[in-house]
Structure formats: structure tokens, C-alpha cells
């Protein structure tokens, strides 16, 4: 049997006045997602425990069948795995965003999608800044997404702990940052690096006079710290080989730690301009050798962070047309299969941030007895009796006998 999970990141939302009182899922033309529901089942699950911050690191870990309350150590270690950065048992990884902060407000948590060549120069300057302390390592990622690693000398050399608190910059869009600076053990180290980066970024001509005409990155923002997680391989946990298609390091890293194949797709950007059709084609090709394939699309989440309702609708329609439709058609031609569509968490256009709460999931395929639902959206799902209170219950439910 072949299995597919499609993750339209952060697509769950609230009714929008701009969309005639409909949610983006209701407003979008998504006939293929609706077909999955009409031919199968519709339910709800809660992917992010109330005690944890809402984000894709927690939400996708739940979707993949791992209880984040047990396994989650932080977001940055997952991204380190994606870059092939080995963490020692006492090392820490920290997410390092290039951001634009104006008058203490988070004007852009992406520094207006900072070009890679500018990021390369800034990372070089940051590494020079910390050259006298070999325990700090800056690693360039893609655009604004980078990593900082602290190499601990021993178990006693632990600058941070579980009480160290940081805030994702995408949760602060158009808001003051003064109440959400790092706090707790080791926060003075993070604050010092953030403060020192301000003067450093002024020295970069590429940053100050960007070729794309966008505002400069004003500093780094450090968050998502964590140590190396201990995850049981997916093959051992569920008895299936896996692969993931994504443009986001977080998902690549988590997939790598689970023992999955990481499928690179040309044109996949992690933004609303991603090549949806290329991802759909890659999923079909990957299914020829993998039992389980995950297709993750970040575009819906990015549209929410920017407060763009129409862009979110457009992204959903592209996912439906170019990924869900072709993949489902392929699966039906190959024999036994199941396909699941589910976001990792809600991301509200109103707040431009990740949120807690139930998300809708739709499943159809072999031995899935259809229920009465016809549409894939949050409002229809809220009337369903199929409720999985813990997100990590969904994967064994998907693979199992589909009895609650």
C-alpha cells in the first residue's frame, strides 16, 4: 500500500470579512481536497499541545506520529540536521533570522526575503565578530533563515536550559519586540550577539544598498534554541520507508532524523512563488520507491504571516490543482493507497501568527468507509464526530484500521 500526506502549512484559519465571511479553505476552489473528503472521512485533531508554542516544529512532529511533549527539544536542532550539522550530546543549536526592526517594531521577520548573497556576507561578518570564541558557529541557510551553534565543552558547560525563553520573530510582525526579547538562563549571551549585530550590519554595503531595492536587515534575531533530539527512526516506529518533499529546512531536518529520503525539487522556494507542479511531479516519482511520501507546502503559512487573504486562497488552489489532484489520480491507478490532507497548525490572517486549536484532516483510499461530509474546511470539520485530541494519534490512525 502507498501512503501520502499533504501538508498545506498553516492553512486552517477563521472566517474572513474580505472573503465574504468564509475561511480561506471555504473560499478556495479545491475540488480535489473536497473529493478526498467526499470519498473518505473528515475529522479534527490538535497538533500543538497547549503548553507548547505553536509552530511547524511541534505541529509536524505531531503529524509524523511523535508526541512533542516527549520528543521535542527545540526547532533549531531539526534545522541543523537538515544542513548536516552534527550536534554533540551537549551542544545547542539556535535559529538565527535576519530581520528588519524599525522603531522597536518587527517590520519584517524575513528582512524582506533577504537575497542569499547578502546573507553570505552578513554571516561572514558575524563569524568574524565571534572569532575569539570558537564555541560559537554561524551557519548560513537560505535567505533570512540561518543557524547559530554553541559547542559545549562538557555536560557542565551548558549556557541554556529548558527555562530559556525566546520568541519566534514571525509571531511579532508589526508589533513591538521589547516585551519579547530572550529571557532566562543564557539570555544575556543571546542579547549581546543581537545587539552587536546592529552595528555590524551597517558595515555591509550589500545589505545597506540592496540590489533588489528592499530595506536593509537591521540585526539578527535569535530563537528556537534546543539540544539534539532522540527520535526513533520512522521505519522502526511504523514499519514503513518514508520521503519528504519540502523547501523548508525544518522539515528536511526532521525527515533526516527519522531516516527518510529528502527529495530536492528545483523551483521549490518555501514561499508563495514555489513551483507547485514540480512538487506534484516529484511526489509521483518518489512514490515508485517509497511507501510513504510527505509533501509539505509553506506558501499558505507565508501568506498568513503577511496578512494576504487572497494569496492564501490562491496558494490553496495551487496545492489542490498541482499536487493533491495529480497525486490522488496516480494513487488510484496504482492499487491500494491512502491519502491524507492536514495542516500542521492554524495560522490566522487576523494575527499573522501561528495559533493553537484543532485543524481539519481528510483521508480517503483503501478500506476507508466514507462518512457524510462533502467539503474540506474547518467549519464542516467542526461538525464531525471524528476527533483525535492529540495530533500524534493521527499517523497510527492513518496507517491502522481507521477505527477510533
The residue-averaged pLDDT of 284-311 equals 96
| In a shared domain, residues 115 and 51 | no
Pairing mode, if any, of strands 242-245 and 261-263?
parallel
- Indicate which CATH number applies to the domain containing 108: 3.30.70
Q: Helix axis angle, 325-334 relative to 31-38, nearest 10°?
A: 40
Range of the domain at 260: 2-72+229-399
- Determine, yes or no, domain membership for 404: no
| In a shared domain, residues 105 and 217 | yes
Q: In the structure, what pLDDT confidence band is assigned to residue 402 with cuts at 50, 70 and 90?
A: low
The DSSP symbol for 123 reads H
Element (H, E) at 257: helix 249-257
Query: CA-CA distances (angstroms) from residue 56 to 72, 76, 117, 286, 317?
Result: 12, 12, 27, 23, 21
| In a shared domain, residues 286 and 149 | no
Total residue count of the chain as it appears in this document: 404
Q: Helix axis angle, 325-334 relative to 276-287, nearest 10°?
A: 20
Q: Which residues of 377-393 are buried (b: 16+ CB within 10 A; e: fewer)?
A: bbebbeebebebeebbb
| In a shared domain, residues 386 and 249 | yes
Indicate the residue among 165, 192, 226 that finishes a domain. 226
| In a shared domain, residues 376 and 305 | yes
pLDDT at 167 over 80: yes
Pull the grid cell for residue 106.
518587527
- Determine, yes or no, domain membership for 379: yes
Indicate the residue among 205, 226, 247 that finishes a domain. 226
Instruction: Answer for the pair 305, 352: CB distance below 8 angstroms, yes or no.
Output: yes
Which of 48, 2, 354, 55 minimizes the C-alpha distance to 226? 55
| In a shared domain, residues 283 and 392 | yes
Q: What is the total count of domains within the chain?
A: 2
Q: Report the share of the chain in percent with pLDDT over 70.
A: 99
- Indicate which CATH number applies to the domain containing 22: 3.40.720.10
- Determine, yes or no, domain membership for 306: yes
- Tell me: the pLDDT tens digits for 221-242? 999 999 988 899 999 999 999 9
Instruction: Answer for the pair 240, 292: CB distance below 8 angstroms, yes or no.
Output: yes
Instruction: Answer for the pair 316, 28: CB distance below 8 angstroms, yes or no.
Output: yes
| In a shared domain, residues 246 and 187 | no
| In a shared domain, residues 248 and 308 | yes
Indicate the residue among 166, 201, 226 that finishes a domain. 226
Give the chain's radius of gyration (CA, Å): 21
The reported pTM is 0.84
- Determine, yes or no, domain membership for 279: yes
The pLDDT score that the predictor gives to residue 134 is 86
Q: In the structure, what pLDDT confidence band is assigned to residue 352 with cuts at 50, 70 and 90?
A: very high
Amino acid at each position: 500500500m502507498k501512503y501520502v500526506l499533504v501538508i498545506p502549512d498553516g492553512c486552517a484559519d477563521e472566517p474572513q470579512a474580505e472573503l465574504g465571511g468564509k475561511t480561506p479553505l471555504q473560499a478556495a476552489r479545491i475540488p480535489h481536497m473536497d473529493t478526498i473528503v467526499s470519498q473518505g472521512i473528515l475529522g479534527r485533531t490538535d497538533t500543538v499541545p497547549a503548553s507548547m508554542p505553536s509552530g511547524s516544529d511541534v505541529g509536524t512532529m505531531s503529524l509524523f506520529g511523535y508526541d512533542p511533549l516527549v520528543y521535542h527539544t527545540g526547532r533549531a536542532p531539526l534545522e541543523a540536521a537538515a544542513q548536516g550539522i552534527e550536534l554533540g550530546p551537549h551542544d545547542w543549536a539556535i535559529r538565527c533570522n535576519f530581520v528588519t526592526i524599525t522603531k522597536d517594531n518587527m517590520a519584517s521577520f524575513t528582512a524582506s526575503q533577504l537575497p542569499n548573497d547578502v546573507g553570505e556576507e552578513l554571516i561572514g561578518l558575524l563569524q568574524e565578530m565571534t572569532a575569539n570564541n570558537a564555541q560559537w558557529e554561524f551557519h548560513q541557510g537560505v535567505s533570512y533563515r540561518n543557524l547559530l551553534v554553541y559547542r559545549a565543552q562538557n555536560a557542565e558547560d551548558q549556557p541554556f536550559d529548558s527555562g530559556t525563553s525566546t520568541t519566534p520573530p514571525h509571531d511579532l510582525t508589526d508589533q513591538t519586540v521589547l516585551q519579547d526579547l530572550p529571557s532566562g538562563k543564557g539570555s544575556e549571551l543571546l542579547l549581546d550577539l543581537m545587539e552587536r549585530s546592529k552595528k555590524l550590519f551597517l558595515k555591509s554595503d550589500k545589505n545597506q544598498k540592496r540590489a533588489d531595492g528592499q530595506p536593509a536587515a537591521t540585526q539578527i534575531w535569535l530563537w528556537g534554541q534546543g539540544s539534539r533530539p532522540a527520535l526513533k527512526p520512522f521505519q522502526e516506529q511504523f514499519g514503513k520507508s518514508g520521503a519528504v518533499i519540502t523547501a523548508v529546512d525544518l522539515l528536511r531536518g526532521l525527515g533526516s532524523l527519522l531516516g527518510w529520503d529528502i527529495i530536492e525539487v528545483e523551483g521549490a522556494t518555501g514561499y508563495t512563488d514555489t513551483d507547485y507542479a514540480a512538487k506534484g511531479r516529484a511526489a509521483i516519482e518518489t512514490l515508485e520507491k517509497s511507501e510513504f511520501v510527505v509533501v509539505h507546502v509553506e506558501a499558505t503559512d507565508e501568506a498568513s504571516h503577511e496578512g494576504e487573504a487572497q494569496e492564501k486562497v490562491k496558494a490553496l488552489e495551487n496545492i489542490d490543482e498541482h499536487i493533491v489532484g495529480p497525486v490522488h489520480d496516480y494513487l488510484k491507478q496504482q492499487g491500494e493507497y491512502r491519502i491524507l490532507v492536514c495542516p500542521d497548525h492554524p495560522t490566522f490572517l487576523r494575527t499573522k501568527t501561528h495559533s493553537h486549536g484543532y485543524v481539519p484532516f481528510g483521508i480517503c483510499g483503501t478500506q476507508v468507509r466514507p462518512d457524510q461530509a462533502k467539503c474540506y474546511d474547518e467549519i464542516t470539520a467542526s461538525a464531525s464526530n471524528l476527533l483525535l485530541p492529540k495530533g500524534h494519534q493521527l499517523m497510527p490512525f492513518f496507517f491502522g484500521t481507521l477505527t477510533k
